[in-house]
A and B are shown apart, each in its own frame.
Chain A
Amino acid sequence: MDFNFSDEQQQFRDSLMRYLREAYDFDARCAIVRTESGWSRAVWQQLAELGALGIALPDAYDGFGGDAFDTLLVMEAFGHALVVEPYLATVVLGAGVIADAGSDAQRAQVLPAVARGERLLALAYGEPAARYAPNHVSTTAKKQGDGWVLDGHKAVVWHGDAADQLIVSARTAGAVADAHGISLFLVDARAPGVVRHGYPTQDGLRAAEITLSGVRVDAEALIGVQDEGLAPLEKAIDRGIAAVCAEAVGAMQAAIEQTTAYLKTRKQFGVPIGSFQVLQHRAVDMYVHAEQARSMAYLAAAKLDAPRNERRRVLSAAKVLVGQAARYVGQQAVQLHGGIGVTNELAISHYFKRLTMLALAFGDVDHHLGRFGEYLEA
């Protein structure tokens, strides 16, 4: 057993955190959110140069061959700094699917470009009536000649408006909620028939509704095995869960640091409010939640390559616990700040909002309690 990060990993984390401290403070972040695109290409290029984009991609495709714990380090740092750039969408979800299930040609075409910061991806799997179920796919892909024609509506696609390429789940056989008959396609985001309506999300990130109307792709666009796309999709979602758990851990840590600092400086009744024991205990509960969440984020990263049932069970457990922790820490961070906590002027409400959205990402607490329950006797 070893809970230490390697020297290399620590150096990497330090350089990333230093960069974010210097170039990505709260004011810089707010300025980025206010821009037209809502994220910064300059920051993205810096992240590429720091190696953050390629850290967990295979060596063979210009990555550094890192593992889930390298992704965890990146996401935790991003959570701490409230980074809005499309890392989860492009690297964790998008490049993850291609590295995992793509052909050699697809990997060669996509991964080095991602590592260099020249390609953005989005995973378009949600649908308006699907809620959190990835098997609910009514978007269709029909065979036409050598290729396929895609039709459907993909919902709340994170960073879908910025993406160069989309990974789209579509039904190639079976009924709307069947596990079998789902296929994944690599689609040019600017192809004729793709219409993207981008919008900001509640936490200052971006998402898009994407409609596909008679979108033609060739045979090489199919990712992995026809009709068997659910397995790599579920795996991608579990990688996403591990990543957002790590991000939430970073955001919780920052929220706790800022809240305890505030409790020590804010005075009422002639004393720092942190001298009131009820507030100390509240801060302690935040800390306990965050430590438990950190443990589950580690476990989640460790189990990403476990057999399917074990993987799903642990990833759901992590999402439940981290979701509950994110809720508590976010709410109390605001509460302990008093009035200034409910304004947009201080970073703390932005942590609360991000933590709220992370708790919903890939399924809320109820959803994952249910999913965990399916493996109760496993």
Chain B
Amino acid sequence: MDLNFTPEEQSFRAEVRAFIDAHLPADLRAKVLEGRRMTKEDYLRWHRILYRQGWVAPHWPKAFGGAGWNAVQQHIFHEECADAGAPALMPFGLVMVGPVIMAFGTPAQQAYFLPRILSGEHWWCQGYSEPGSGSDLASLKTRAERRGDVYIVNGQKTWTTLAQYADWMFCLVRTDPQARKQEGISFLLIDMKSPGISVRPIIMLDGEHEVNEVFFDNVEVPVANRIGEENKGWTYAKFLLAHERTGIAEVGRSKRWLKRLKAIAARERACGGGRLIDDPRFRDRIAQVEIELMALEVTTLRVIAAEMEKKAPGPEASLLKIRGSEIQQTLSELLMLALGPYAAPYQPAALDAGYDGPIVGPEYGVAHTGLYFNMRKTTIYGGSNEIQRNIIAKMMLGF
């Protein structure tokens, strides 16, 4: 047993850190650290910087243009990016559909889509959930009927994250309504510019436009854009869910938020005078979440080590999802509580980086309450925490 990183891993970390220091634009970094509103271009700028370095797809094999790093290196890379305040890389292309195309796509699909995911030319979105099919995803109803060499797609997806930016959607559709529900599903790649697609924004509880409804009205999708076999889409979808596990716990970002929380608690004044961080009740709350996070980090490393030994991806990912989401929620709640009465003002305009109007309360606090509200999503999406508990109950505890 040795819980330390090897010297090679440590020098890898130093190399990653030096690159980020030299190449992460200061304005982007500031935006991320302060929790300001991110534009499509903000995400893409960092994406392209990593692309030029050959690092944008740490987990992809070199043959497909990835960095070909092992699980420990990937972890170190993500941790360093999160710590530095680098914008998140959108997972939809790189983490989700990319590996599916690599594993099940035709050579033509691989040649066309993979380079464009890497370069950032294509922004992807995930068309799984529907109004009637959330936790019970396999009940999805969006219909695709074959007519010669196209499918005609009709129906509706919802909660589609950042579909307003997307060039392509990977989409689960029903191709055989007669079959058992998991067996009549196909996996299509759909050009978002196709006639008949309309995207309607859904405004989240923090007032931001993050998700959408996507409607399909007789949309033609070439059969050539189907992944793998017809009616086998559920298999590919499950493969994808297993790949969503990397970074699911968001340990790196939570460590950054913890740092920020401590810095702010050292500046905020407690009621009886003195610093908030010295107030025993608030101090204990910080301590409690830090201890949880410490344990989660080691649990994450255990899962990564198992992955290195090529043990099949298991339900540990559910554990990481449960604790990781709860810790994110706690940290965002403490960031809000730290502000005292100044948690109340709603200042959406101040979230734009260029904003130079009046700000109520401390400038560092403008995003915190919205963040607390927004983080409620983390126990709902990606398989709700109730569903994750069902998985552990079944797979780990044998119920």
Contacts and interface: CB of A to CB of B under 8 A. Distances in A.
A363 B285 CA distance: 17
Interface string B332-365: 0000010011111111000000000010110000
A331 interface: yes
Contacts of A356: 369, 372-373
B16 to A, nearest CB: 34
A269 B181 CA distance: 11
B369 A197 contact: no
Interface string A264-306: 0001111001001011000000000000000000000000000
A366 interface: yes
Interface stretch (A4-12, A144-152, A332-340): A332-340
Interface stretch (B68-76, B110-118, B198-206): B198-206
A131 B134 contact: no
A61 to B, nearest CB: 31
B322 to A, nearest CB: 13
A339 B207 contact: no
A269 B135 contact: yes
Interface in B361-399: 361, 369-370, 372-374, 376-377, 379-381, 384-386, 389
B271 A202 contact: no
B205 A369 contact: no
Contact of B271 (A207, A360, A370): A370
Given A156-B341, A202-B344, A207-B344, A133 B202 contact: no
Contacts of A118: none
B380 to A, nearest CB: 6
B282 interface: yes
B386 A279 contact: yes
B125 to A, nearest CB: 15
Contacts of A126: 341
Contacts of A270: 136, 139
B209 to A, nearest CB: 10
A281 to B, nearest CB: 11
Given A197-B358, A343-B205, A369-B281, A202 B376 contact: no
B159 interface: yes
A138 interface: no
Contacts of A367: 271
Given A343-B202, A344-B203, A344-B207, A268 B344 contact: no
A259 B205 CA distance: 17
Interface stretch (A14-22, A97-105, A162-170, A345-353): A345-353
B380 A131 contact: no
Given A202-B373, A343-B204, A360-B341, A177 B384 contact: no
A202 B376 CA distance: 15
B270 interface: yes
Contact of A156 (B337, B345, B372, B384): B345
A209 interface: yes
Nearest to B134: A338
A369 to B, nearest CB: 6
Interface in A233-279: 267-270, 273, 276, 278-279
B321 to A, nearest CB: 14
A129 interface: yes
A136 B379 CA distance: 39
Interface residues of B, number: 51
B129 interface: yes
Interface string B195-220: 00000001111010001000000000
Contacts of B207: 344
A199 interface: yes
Contacts of B159: 339
Contact of B380 (A136, A201, A342): A342
A201 B345 contact: yes
Contacts of A133: 271-272
A201 B370 CA distance: 11
A338 B205 contact: no
A360 B282 CA distance: 14
Contacts of A209: 360
A132 interface: yes
A199 B345 contact: yes
A335 B358 CA distance: 35
Contacts of B385: 335
A189 to B, nearest CB: 18
A338 B131 CA distance: 11
A343 B131 CA distance: 13
Contact of A353 (B129, B158, B205, B285): B205
Given A344-B205, A366-B282, A268 B134 contact: yes
Nearest to A276: B386
A334 B378 CA distance: 12
A37 to B, nearest CB: 15
Given A132-B271, A343-B204, A360 B344 contact: yes
B333 to A, nearest CB: 9
Nearest to B270: A131
Chain B CB within 10 A, most for which of A128, A202, A203: A202
A122 interface: no
A233 B133 CA distance: 53
A341 interface: yes
B384 to A, nearest CB: 7
Interface in A93-131: 126, 128-129, 131
A341 B379 CA distance: 11
B148 interface: no
Nearest to A370: B281
Interface in A9-36: none
Nearest to A133: B271
Chain B CB within 10 A, most for which of A128, A177, A209, A366: A366
B316 interface: no
29 contacts: A128-B342, A129-B269, A131-B271, A132-B341, A155-B341, A155-B342, A155-B361, A156-B361, A197-B360, A201-B344, A201-B345, A202-B343, A202-B344, A202-B373, A207-B344, A209-B360, A267-B132, A269-B139, A331-B376, A341-B376, A342-B205, A342-B373, A342-B374, A343-B211, A344-B203, A345-B203, A352-B373, A364-B340, A370-B271
Interface of A: 126, 128-129, 131-133, 136, 155-156, 177, 197, 199-203, 207, 209, 267-270, 273, 276, 278-279, 331, 334-335, 338-339, 341-345, 349-350, 352-353, 356-357, 360, 363-364, 366-367, 369-370
Interface of B: 129, 132-136, 139, 158-159, 202-205, 207, 211, 268-273, 279, 281-282, 285, 337, 340-347, 358, 360-361, 369-370, 372-374, 376-377, 379-381, 384-386, 389
Given A339-B158, A352-B205, 16 more contacts: A155-B342, A209-B360, A267-B132, A268-B139, A278-B386, A279-B386, A335-B379, A338-B380, A339-B377, A339-B381, A341-B380, A342-B374, A344-B203, A360-B340, A363-B271, A367-B271
| 5 tightest Cβ-Cβ pairs between the two chains A and B | A349-B205, A268-B136, A366-B281, A131-B340, A156-B341
